[in-house]
Amino acid sequence: MRPEIKDAIDRYANEHIAPGGFLTAVLENNLSEALGRADEGNLRDIHEIVKYIYWNIPAVCWGSPEKVKRWLSMRED
């Protein structure tokens, strides 16, 4: 997984900062959207990206569009 992808996931989990379209689709568990938005590197790394999300960020912040929306709304500015 490219460092910028890991960093974007960590920012999302720790700071409630929205990632780009590809990662948002992955976090929302929208496979068809994720694959449609993925560049070559993310296509190659999608399994590793999903494993990282599963094992390293709270389950309350991923898995459905509603969870992602709720998580992002908790950002303190």
Q: Is residue 76 packed enough to be buried (19+ CB in 10 Å), middle (13-18) or exposed (0-12)? A: exposed
Question: Does the structure show a pLDDT above 80 at 24?
Answer: yes
Single out the residue of 54, 73, 69, 60 nearest to residue 24, CA to CA.
69
Residue 69 — pLDDT band, cuts 50, 70, 90?
A: very high
Any idea where the domains of the chain sit in the sequence?
3-73
- 29 CB-side CA count, 13 A: 12
Residue for token pair 């068809």: 32
Query: For the whole model, what pTM was predicted?
Result: 0.95
Residue 76 — pLDDT band, cuts 50, 70, 90?
A: confident
